[in-house]
A and B are shown apart, each in its own frame.
Chain A
Amino acid sequence: MTFLQRSMSKLARRWLGYLTLAAILPLLAHAQENAGPDYDDILQGFADSERWLTYSGDYSGKRHSPLTQINVDNIQSLRPEWTFQTGTTTRGRGFETTPLVDAGVLYVTGSNNYAWAIDARTGRAFWQYRRNLPSDLTYGASAPVNRGFGMLGNSLFMVTLDAHLLSFDRRSGDILWDVVLADYHQGYAATLAPLVLDNKVIVGISGGEYATRGFIDAYDPATGDRLWRFNTIPGPGEPGSETWPDDPEVLARGGGGTWMNGSYDPELNLIYWGVGNPNPDYYGDLRPGDNLYSNSIVALDADTGELRWHYQFTPHDLNDWDSNQIPVLADIEWQGSPRRVVMLANRNGFFYVMDRVNGELLLATPFTATTWAREIGADGRPIVLNDGSKGCLPDPWGSTNFMPPSYYPELGLFYLTARETCATYVAEEPTFVPGQSSFGGVVFIDGDQGSGALRALDVQTGDLRWEFPYPSPTFGGVLTTAASLVFAGDHEGNFMAFDAVSGENLWHYQTGSRIWGAAAMTHMLDGRQYVLIASGTTLTAFALPAQ
């Protein structure tokens, strides 16, 4: 055998080896590996009790789990199982995440763009990720929060404070791709949990306090390529631009952030997304008109991003009442016939029920004592009593906010965290400096008059069924479970459970820090039901004592 022959033979053997390995590896992988959830799994929502695969648990935004192991009779025994310390604080805000869970592993994002894979049994981390953030963050510096991962297969998706979208390998925490959503220097940031649909990752953007222009984007989960973009503030001449001054500069800095998660109706193939305040927040003289689509809900075709319908809650907003609340989708009986509705409790103090096929307004009633309007007229527009000049309006944080509410279908009750506040707004013409916020005025909040409450609303009438008062205005979210339980958190740090029917407080645990922006999630593992809540710098898992 010549040298050349020997070499060729060696090469051939090596290649044969590679080919064999290549053929076997996928089989091995398939046999041993959990390939992760696909779109159908997410579509099934709560069907697999050991999984929580999307921010609200399913696409509807109800945050209503079918789990019943923890119930009104045994909840007194609920106790912390473990606490995970993130080691990162959230300047002035909260630990706002909802963990995802699959195959005993929690996937958790934290403040300052930390993230972890955590053993759901012990609270021990498999890996930690920390993004090397630039020192000149804009909006991301004032609200360094994150609300969670999206998941598809072995990929995780997370947005960042410097306005990127990242894909991770969920097994290692390695970055698969990294795309820029917008230029953070201008004021943009991103904080929500990506919404994963069939072959699409939907995200929104923060930064409406700056001279920015909001949008909702869809990305290819495999490559990070952008599939479509919906601009929440129209361009010159586009539909909606007639509600703005005829000035491209005003439109380009019109605000309309989309910083909180939307919901999805797979049958209608529509996504529902809340849009934030126009910019400047308090000073309206530079932007006469309704300022669409600020402070609206938009229903978009999931395949194209085209607008199907919209409804504006607060035309020409002067109070920073973003409409970035979770749209809650439900199929209910409405005046004798079935209706597919979307429900939303707004920062402006009104609770809205709308037909989600066409956007028809069915109900709008106030849920806090103070608001700006007497009622919503037959034309769907508010009848404004107090534009802010008469004092005592809900503060800029609103009568409720992004903290998730929950809907209990069997009871027909919508549970939300209400904030009773008293604020006076003084507008002041701003200057527009890229990277500097332009609120356009100042707000005086009367701290002595603030309080909060967990409220249960009858969705047929908006009537208050029961409430549990909190000592101060609260930002904690709500989870309900089919065992007639409501889990909620408050500003004083209590994580609590209530009887969903009577409102009786059944259990509480002092977590040591205000619960801000976070709502609980729940899942089964080893035959036990766990309930998790983020608070301060910790994530705590609760369960009944092991049998």
Chain B
Amino acid sequence: MKKSPETKRSLIRFVTWILSITAVMYVSSVPAQQINPLESDPRAARAGGVLFRSQCATCHGGDAKGITGIEAPDLTLIWAAVGTTDERVFQTIRNGVPGSIMPAHGFTDPETWMLVSYLRSVAATGATEFSGDAVRGSGLFLSNCARCHRVRGEGGSLGPDLSQITSRRSAAALVNSVREPSATIARRYHSVSLVFEGLSAGASGSRQRIQGTLKSEDAFSIQMMDTNQQLRAFMKADLLEFVRESDSLMPAFSRTDLSSAELEDILTFLQSQL
């Protein structure tokens, strides 16, 4: 029997339907995809970038490095954290972060994977493998750095924790931050100098000068850490002097202070602690 065009169309519809149902069943039987299906497609990161700039940049910044004053993280650093996977980033974009200002998003799966590809493409690249002497570096770190910097819970708090730093900064950036620490100063580590009237017994009226890092301020007060690593707060009206220093509290280490080989040792030690 010759099939009429009508019957043919119905048959095609039926087969298409069966196929799509099968596809849906197959997809729904697989748990959330764990591998970025667009990983090898170079267009994905580019398309993700367009999407990112229109949908995410308001909080995370056009370069994904976050915006001062908005508590949205620098997304170029997320890959350095232990446990960050493509799938986890996918889920964070999709579901948001409960209890934070990061909302859930209604992007399609391919769009979400494009965003993951884009974030991979802008990930801060960690340093290459250092080849110094980690043991010697450990000693050098203790004598030169540990008063202010911590590694794995050991050391001071005046400067940033360096436990993850070798996976977050390039070798050049790391060297530069030791040789020229004032070139770029991280948020909450800007240096301030204060002068105020001391209140020590019998010595009222004695002026005190302290230095530290500015943690926070409003129109009337400042919150800082002094060089003794004490958290202190002052009313601006009580300060005789309040100077925002352009230089970091961290001394610049020249090649005579710390040779290139010694610096390599320290960085090797830091890398060994990851």
Contact = CB atoms under 8 A, between A and B. Distances in A.
Interface stretch (A36-44, A191-199, A270-278, A469-477): A469-477
B44 interface: no
Interface stretch (B151-159, B162-170, B198-206, B215-223): B215-223
B62 interface: yes
B31 to A, nearest CB: 23
B220 A91 contact: no
B106 A428 contact: no
Contacts of A340: none
A490 interface: yes
Central interface residue in B59, B68, B103, B219, by most chain A CB within 10 Å: B219
B103 A442 contact: no
A92 B101 CA distance: 6
A491 interface: yes
B64 to A, nearest CB: 10
Contact of B62 (A426, A448, A473, A496): A426
Contacts of B219: 468-471, 490, 492, 494, 496, 505, 508
Interface string B52-92: 01110111011100011110000000000000000000000
A17 B106 CA distance: 59
A473 B67 CA distance: 13
B218 A494 contact: yes
Contacts of B106: 136
A60 to B, nearest CB: 29
A448 B219 CA distance: 17
Interface in B10-62: 50, 53-55, 57-59, 61-62
Nearest to A426: B62
Q: Which of A142, A442, A496 has the most CB of B within 10 A?
A: A442
A430 B54 contact: yes
A81 to B, nearest CB: 22
Contacts, number: 65
Contacts of A142: 58, 103
Interface in B111-168: none
Contact of B55 (A436, A493, A496, A505): A436
Given A91-B103, A92-B101, A450-B69, A444 B61 contact: yes
Given A91-B101, A447-B69, A491-B69, A441 B53 contact: yes
A439 interface: yes
Interface string A63-106: 00000000000000000000000000101100000000000000
B62 A442 contact: yes
Contacts of A438: 54
A442 B220 CA distance: 34
Interface string A485-502: 000001111101000000
A444 B62 contact: yes
A144 to B, nearest CB: 9
A444 B55 CA distance: 14
A173 B165 CA distance: 55
Nearest to A491: B69
Contacts of B69: 447, 450, 472-473, 491
A163 B259 CA distance: 65
Contact of B68 (A450, A469, A508): A450
A444 B63 contact: yes
Given A92-B70, A450-B68, A436 B54 contact: yes
Contact of B59 (A92, A444, A470): A92
A443 interface: yes
| B interface secondary structure, majority | loop
A323 interface: no
B194 to A, nearest CB: 16
Contacts of A141: 103
Q: Which of A426, A447, A468 has the most CB of B within 10 A?
A: A447
A510 interface: yes
A332 interface: no
Interface string B203-231: 00000000000000111100000000000
B225 to A, nearest CB: 18
Q: Pick from B57, B63, B106, B218 the residue with the most CB of A within 10 Å.
A: B218
A47 B66 CA distance: 48
Nearest to B222: A471
A437 interface: yes
Contact of A443 (B50, B55, B57, B218): B57
A468 B236 CA distance: 14
Contacts of A431: 50
A445 interface: yes
A136 B62 CA distance: 24
B73 to A, nearest CB: 14
Nearest to A92: B101
Contacts of A428: 50, 53
Contacts of B59: 92
A161 to B, nearest CB: 13
B218 A442 contact: no
A447 B74 CA distance: 14
Interface in A423-437: 426, 428, 430-431, 436-437
Contacts of B217: 471, 492
A442 B57 contact: yes
Nearest to A143: B58
Nearest to A470: B219
Contacts of B54: 430, 436-440, 442
A244 to B, nearest CB: 22
Given A141-B103, A436-B55, A443 B70 contact: no
Given A450-B68, A496-B219, A445 B101 contact: no
Given A92-B59, A428-B53, A492 B218 contact: yes
A446 to B, nearest CB: 9
A492 B62 CA distance: 24
A141 B104 CA distance: 10
Nearest to A496: B219
A67 B82 CA distance: 59
For the complex of A and B, 3 pairs with smallest distance between CB atoms:
A447-B68, A492-B218, A442-B62
15 contacts: A92-B70, A92-B101, A141-B103, A430-B54, A436-B54, A439-B53, A443-B62, A444-B63, A447-B68, A447-B69, A469-B219, A472-B69, A490-B218, A491-B69, A508-B219
Interface of B: 50, 53-55, 57-59, 61-63, 67-70, 101, 103, 106, 217-220
Given A431-B50, A437-B55, A447-B68, 20 more contacts: A89-B101, A91-B101, A91-B103, A141-B103, A436-B55, A442-B53, A443-B57, A444-B62, A445-B67, A447-B67, A469-B219, A471-B218, A471-B219, A473-B69, A490-B218, A492-B217, A492-B218, A494-B219, A496-B219, A510-B218
